[in-house]
Amino acid sequence: MALINHRAREIHFKIVYYGPSLGGKTTNLKQLHERLPAERRGKMLSIATDHERTLFFDFLPFSLGEVQGYTTRIHLYTTPGQAYYRLSRRAVLQGLDGLVFVADSHPAREGANAESLADLDEHLTAIGTTPEQRDRIAWVFQYNKRDLPAALPVERLRRALNPRGATDFEAVASEGKGISETLRAVCKGVIAQMTPFRKGMSPATDMSDAKTFVAWLDAQPQVNKNRKVGVQGYCMGGPMSFHTASAVPDRIGAVATFHGGNLVAMDPTSPTSPHNLAAATKASFLIAIAENDDKSKPNDKTILKETFDKAKLSSEIEVYPAAHGWCPPDTQVYNEPAAEKAWSRLLALYGKALA
């Protein structure tokens, strides 16, 4: 599943090269790593096994473009093909977005190809991949070692391994043939996964959802409709919180954002910039800003303060001595003192604005 780094404005995709042992997975990655410009690729890391290596590295592709202003970073992995590394393969498959099945064209490896594909199916099931999730994985097949004198016919390989007609390529990975075409196709496939989600998310849908959620809450007998509702957002949830407060201003009494992304658009005068929606709300605001976010956009806190003051809305804006993403305890940048302070300020906000 794609991971989004809002601070770096990057979307991370994971692509796994799978297939029988010694079929060419490692050769693909080594050749690709050598051909990519050094400034656009990370260091190749290796986990050594007795017979082959599991490799992985990441890179910034040239021609895939941006997704809503976010650059794409691709992470490539291989898996050890031997039978006794089944659990290692299962672990590598967690969270994948794209899959390249590297088939061996040698006639003696026909059975190994089929066994590897069946093994892949078993592992996807074991990690809980649903049929719908499988359909979203970008699949590409590569028929490697096409330079062998007795290479299996491509049509035979296609019938046995790729009956659904996924994109496929012939390759001689040891010579670098077909590897770039394979990579380009699977990268485009994972980028395409974002299209339906991108189309489905907008300020309008946030506001529509907010009205639906609040209406549902108000319909519950346990809810006192005379009390206001609080909303809080982290990272990309920051703008969503502003959208929610402006959609149901009579019900939202408090808004809190923690290391919120893009609360002020690149063009602050844009009517769709989240901060420009504050005037349509009746809420009190708590804006907790990460210090590295403040360094990249130092004027945002001033613009936010001026906006709240002009609308006569109560606000607390503070730059915390912590990095973007400091609140969730399962992140590498978790900062317990800053997170505890943010939580205490949230409770104070809710205690006052929602009373």
Per-residue model confidence as pLDDT tens digits over 258-299: 998 889 988 899 988 999 999 999 999 999 999 999 998 999
* pLDDT beyond 90 at 74: no
Question: Of the candidates 190, 194, 196, 143, which has an alpha carbon nearest to the alpha carbon of residue 15?
Answer: 190
The alpha carbon of 68 is separated from its chain's Cα centroid by a whole number of angstroms, namely 13
Token digits for 254? Answer: 């408090």
Q: Which contacts qualify for 246-249: CB closer than 8 Å, 24 or more apart? A: 246/207, 246/277, 246/278, 246/280, 246/281, 247/206, 247/207, 247/208, 247/210, 247/211, 248/210, 248/211, 248/214, 249/280, 249/281, 249/282, 249/283
Q: What is the pLDDT of residue 132?
A: 85
* 273 Cβ neighbours under 8 A, 6+ residues apart: 264, 265, 267
Same CATH fold assignment for domains 3-200 and 203-353: yes
Does residue 309 or residue 41 have the better pLDDT? Answer: 309
Per domain, the residue ranges of the chain are 3-200, 203-353
Q: Which CATH number fits domain 3-200: 1.10.132.10, 3.20.20.70, 3.40.50.300, 1.10.3720.10?
A: 3.40.50.300
Per-residue model confidence as pLDDT tens digits over 177-207: 999 999 999 998 988 877 666 566 788 899 9
203-353 carries CATH number 3.40.50.300: no
Q: What is the pLDDT of residue 7?
A: 56
Q: What is the pLDDT of residue 52?
A: 46
DSSP string, 219-288: TSTT--TTS-EEEEEETTHHHHHHHHHHHSTTTEEEEEEES-S-SS-SSTT-TTSGGGGGGG---EEEEE
Average pLDDT along the chain: 87
